[in-house]
Amino acid sequence: MVCNATIEDYALRSIGIGEKLLPKSDITLCDQFVLIGSGIIWNLYFCIIALAFGFIFAILTAIIRFNKYIVLSKVMDIYVFIFRGSPLFIQFFCAYEVFVLLPKIGIDINLLFTTITVETSWLTKAWLGAVLVLFLNTTAYSSEIFYGALKSIPKHDIEAAEAFGLSTRRKYRKIIIPTMLRNSWSSYTNEAIFLFHATTLVFFSSFPAWRQSGDALYYASYFADKTFNPFVPYPIIAIYFISITLLIILIFKIINVYFTKHLPKERKMPIKLFKNMVR
């Protein structure tokens, strides 16, 4: 294969392994495929981390809002309003400027056997700062999805659980959270897809691509600038994104089957894509 050398040089270029310089002239199709594919690593990283933490915190915030704790619920409502009501692009800019203004200090965290110094300057790097913004953003959107699902849980389900004498913890674990997830899975799938798409914004807002290690769109626009021919890099990145979008749908469908395997056929909810877009 002619491509082997390129794969060796550029397959992990986006995380700083391999050739230092990007191809400047004589850009081949192979270069574009490999380098854009290497950028996808960043997109996946942003998406997976933000989604994983966002999922847990969204459930927590949704439950807090559902239970109407006086002060805490109000704070959560305002947080969700701010992050859902404003564009992610502006959020990135704001957050970056705030992170830049933070005093440059290291915070020592004592882990008994060793000490880690957490530096605030890490927040101005994409790997932490952008992930934080994406996490806050997706938590807000997911929280709204889950909160809506919580409100639509039939009252008698919860009452039945209480009548059985389930403790609050068991009531949530066995009844409320599973029902909530089942009812909102379709919307949550859409949220995951939108989040994955939103990861392309990171390097186009303020976050700098350190040593030209950027995401897929960073490289695609690099090639479009260098060759002045948009008809190759953008369709390539489109192929990558469509395939990963399909993969996300597949994974969420498998989880959906697992969630609903005990239900009779007419109560199984198929995932409706792009039906109710929340973003």
Partner 1 sequence: MFEYCADPDVLSTFEWFSCYLTNGKHLLFYKSFGLIILLLVITAPLAMLLGLLAAVAIKSKFLLLRLFSKAYANIVRGIPDIIFFLFIPITIDQLIEFSRHKIKCPEMVDSVWQGSDFIVCSAAKLPLNSDPQWIHDIYGFLLAVMSFAIVYGAFAANTFHGAMNSVPQSQIETGKSFGMSRKQLYISIIFPQMWRYALPGLSNLWMLLIKSTPLLFLLGIQDVVYWARELGGSKTSIFQYPHPDWRVWYFLSLLVFYLLLTKISELILNRISKKIYLPI
The helix/strand count (H/E) of the chain reads as 10, 2
What's the min distance (Å) between Cβ of 124 and partner 1? 13
Q: Smallest Cα–Cα separation from 270: which of 150, 145, 185, 197?
A: 185
Q: Enumerate residues 188-217 that contact partner 1 by CB under 8 A.
A: 197-198, 200-201, 204, 217
79 binds partner 1 (CB under 8 A): no
Q: Smallest Cα–Cα separation from 218: which of 100, 28, 43?
A: 43
178 binds partner 1 (CB under 8 A): no
What's the min distance (Å) between Cβ of 225 and partner 1? 9
CA distance 218 to 206: 13
Q: Residue from 97, 157, 159, 162 that binds partner 1 (CB under 8 A)?
A: 97
What's the min distance (Å) between Cβ of 234 and partner 1? 4
Our CB check for partner 1 shows the closer of 62 and 244 to be 244
237 binds partner 1 (CB under 8 A): yes
3-state secondary structure 188-239: HHHHHHHHHHHHHHHHHCCCCCHHHCCCHHHHHHHHHHHHCCCCCHHHHHHH
86 binds partner 1 (CB under 8 A): yes
What's the min distance (Å) between Cβ of 213 and partner 1? 19
Span from 8-16, 142-150, 166-174, 270-278 in contact with partner 1 (CB under 8 A): 270-278
Q: How far is CA 96 from CA 5, 31, 93, 246, in A?
A: 37, 32, 5, 32
Our CB check for partner 1 shows the closer of 176 and 219 to be 219
Phi and psi at residue 110, in whole multiples of 5°? -90, 115
Stated as kind and residue range, the H or E segment containing 115 is: strand 115-119
The dihedral of CA 256, 260, 261, 264: what is its sign?
negative
Q: Residue from 148, 234, 253, 268 that binds partner 1 (CB under 8 A)?
A: 234
Our CB check for partner 1 shows the closer of 123 and 161 to be 123
Residue 237 and residue 220 in contact, taking contact as beta carbons nearer than 8 Å: yes
Our CB check for partner 1 shows the closer of 160 and 246 to be 246
221 binds partner 1 (CB under 8 A): yes
Q: Residue from 4, 25, 114, 117 that binds partner 1 (CB under 8 A)?
A: 25
Residue 214 and residue 102 in contact, taking contact as beta carbons nearer than 8 Å: no
Which 3 state secondary structure label does DSSP give 118? strand
Q: Binding residues for partner 1, per CB under 8 A?
A: 25, 81-82, 84-91, 93-94, 97-98, 100-101, 197-198, 200-201, 204, 217, 220-221, 224, 226-231, 234, 237-238, 241-242, 245-246, 274-279
